[in-house]
A and B are shown apart, each in its own frame.
Chain A
Amino acid sequence: MAFFLEVLIGGLLTGVLYSLVALGFVLIFKASGVFNFAQGAMVLMAGLALVQLFEPTYIGLWHFVGVGALSAAVVGLLVLRTVRGGTFAAAKGDWRIHLPKIVAVGAGLLGGVLALAGGAKGWPLWLAIPAAIAVMVAVAWVVERWVLRPLVNQEGIILFMATLGVTFFIDGFSQTLFGSNVYPLNIGLSKDPMFLLEGVFEGGILVNKLDISGGVIAGVLVAGLAVFFQKTRIGRALRAVADDHAAAQSVGIPLNWIWFIVWSVAGVVALVAAIVWGSKLGIQFSLTFLALKALPVLILGGFTSVPGAIVGGLLIGAGEKVAEVYFPVVTKFLTGTAMPGGVEYWFAYVLALLFLLFRPQGLFGERIIERV
């Protein structure tokens, strides 16, 4: 029993990571109807940016200056946008039409100079994390401006192909910028094993503290997102856009701005996934293919459901571990010979296939409200 629980808990905590990636998918799919294949690549990029800013082993001084300038420019533009309260159409010749450029360049120069002064020794965590977020916000802006906006009103499959292209671009470009080795990420989360429930089972249950903190971080993130979606003005607008693009537009919700926000939030979720995953296994190229594990999670949970992504991730994480461990035992009991493992690799996909056959909307897929 203790062994089973150990396997189960280990699996659940892997599941948390699947959930985090799936969550990024769900956010973007709900708000823009785009199936964003690039979510995995965004995890890679966020992770690489963070690890290289925090403990640089690949990048040099000028990268820091660049990221510093970029972050400052992003922050400057966001502040400007907040102060000014959205777009306004300035008349031609009005100097204020150039205000965003002025702010971006000014803040960028300031950030660059500060980064230059700080040097290439790496930044403290409180600076590295916001800078990595700023990098992801910049990615969101580029994607919205240069991919989504020109392709507005195109078929879903075209947008999907576009995100495939974005995947490989982000994947390659982030390695160009930040290096392509496996980088251990050590932000101070304890990796010590610990024992739970020692009173109940002999010897207790062995779990890794890192997994526990990963679970807690993910939980906090999800709770934060739930509050953001349910209680804030922007969150309400996001849900409105998810429900009906045209109507949202008609009441003055700017779709482009909402898409930008959603991609930024997905970037933040990617960063959190990268922190948890990277602390465990290091930041590496294979993070991109997390996207493939998130697919069955989405099918299980439903493409439009945030709780679905969480539950789906946990189910698949736990299910595949338990199946992997107990498959030989069960086959031995049934056939007399123990079949070797390898179940972990296909379990999720077969489960997803079964769901597609019998419950295509997933566990929590949105019910289409139709009055009779």
Chain B
Amino acid sequence: MTAPAAAPSAAPNVLDVQNVEVIYNHVILVLKGVSLSLPDRGIVALLGANGAGKSTTLKAISNLLIAERGEVTKGQVMYRGERVDGLTPNDLVRRGVIQVMEGRHCFGHLTVEENLLTGAFIHGGAKRQIAEDLEKVYHYFPRLKERRQSQAGYTSGGEQQMTAIGRALMSRPNTVLLDEPSMGLAPQLVEEIFEIVKNLNEKEGVSILLAEQNTNVALRYAHYGYILENGRVVLDGAASALRENADVKEFYLGVGGEGRRSFRDVKHYRRRKRWL
């Protein structure tokens, strides 16, 4: 496979993932050399089907892999010019890189507000700053203010997703790795959450690397996109270009021009992309 082109913008990249290979349990090869970059203040989408390696890529960056017996065996991750693979998640959060995990992962027995406060763990006893950040999160997610005293386990899926994102914001990140924010949510709620994410990007200057199965929504909000298949990047480009790309339309947006194609063509496409 040839190395995919770097992101087109001239702005310096906050994240550079270079040819990363990930092996789970010493035997299962999941990422087969993924390279991508996230420009400062950009929204970059990682797209692809189940098992393509989107989550693994995010976890390889945030170093949550180790907890799942995964290991980066090749390549490196650079954050603002500094090599960060091998740092603990805690160190990364301190540097401003935080992941919002797939499936929300709220602390069910804690209240919504307590959940948010755990996000400020690394800021220790900086009470005034934490109070300000809390107000800011409530400003972006007014729903959470209403539910602040409810146990997070009993709130709705959308509220949990908002709690998870708000919790990450409490650490004052400058890069957020957002894994499947649309999972299991009603379309209207998905839009609401993506609007907030876009706001955060524009107003707070947070760079966002987004892993998403919902290609349609993701490409509307992202600036740039990478398509992963079987642990490799098969296609990348500006979001607008990807939206117009025939293959993407066909296989991810479900709006192919020439009517339904047979499964064999899909297989052919995949094989072709694999050897690209």
Contacts and interface: CB of A to CB of B under 8 A. Distances in A.
Interface in B108-132: 108-110, 114-115, 117-119, 121-122, 124-125
Interface in A230-266: 233, 236-237, 239-240, 242-254
B109 A252 contact: no
B91 A89 contact: yes
A251 to B, nearest CB: 5
Contacts of A254: 88, 90
Given A252-B121, A253-B118, A240 B110 contact: yes
B56 to A, nearest CB: 14
Nearest to B119: A251
A252 to B, nearest CB: 3
Contacts of B124: 85-86, 233
Nearest to A234: B121
A252 B89 contact: yes
Given A89-B91, A233-B124, A244-B105, A251 B110 contact: no
B98 interface: yes
A154 to B, nearest CB: 10
Nearest to A251: B119
Interface in A351-372: 366, 369, 371
Given A86-B94, A252-B93, A153 B67 contact: yes
Interface size class of B (residues with CB under 8 A): 35 or more
B99 interface: yes
A249 B89 contact: yes
Contacts of B121: 233, 237, 251-253
Interface string A121-164: 00000000000000000000000000000001100000000000
Contact of A236 (B101, B118, B164): B118
A41 B27 CA distance: 40
A246 B99 CA distance: 11
Given A233-B125, A239-B107, A243-B108, A251 B171 contact: yes
A250 B92 CA distance: 9
A244 B103 CA distance: 12
B62 A250 contact: yes
B52 interface: no
Contacts of A239: 107, 109-110, 114
Contacts of B232: none
A87 interface: yes
B201 interface: no
Nearest to B116: A251
B87 A236 contact: no
A371 B154 contact: yes
Nearest to A371: B154
A86 B90 contact: yes
B101 A246 contact: yes
Interface string B142-179: 00000000010110110000001001101100000000
Given A240-B110, A252-B121, A369 B64 contact: no
Given A233-B125, A252-B94, A369-B153, A246 B105 contact: yes
Contacts of B92: 252
Interface in A78-95: 85-89
Contacts of A233: 117, 121, 124-125
Contact of B98 (A237, A245, A251, A366): A251
Interface in A55-87: 85-87
B158 to A, nearest CB: 12
A148 B168 CA distance: 27
Contacts of A237: 118, 121
A366 B62 CA distance: 31
B67 A246 contact: yes
A247 B69 CA distance: 16
A191 B151 CA distance: 46
Given A249-B67, A252-B171, A86 B122 contact: yes
6 contacts: A85-B124, A86-B124, A247-B107, A250-B64, A251-B170, A366-B109
Interface of B: 62, 64, 67-69, 87-94, 98-101, 105-110, 114-115, 117-119, 121-122, 124-125, 151, 153-154, 156-157, 164, 167-168, 170-171
Interface of A: 85-89, 152-153, 233, 236-237, 239-240, 242-254, 366, 369, 371
Across the A-B interface, the 8 shortest Cβ-Cβ residue pairs: A252-B93, A369-B153, A247-B105, A243-B107, A254-B90, A369-B108, A240-B118, A252-B122
Given A244-B106, A253-B90, 14 more contacts: A88-B91, A233-B121, A233-B125, A240-B107, A240-B118, A242-B109, A244-B107, A247-B106, A247-B107, A250-B64, A250-B101, A252-B171, A253-B118, A369-B108
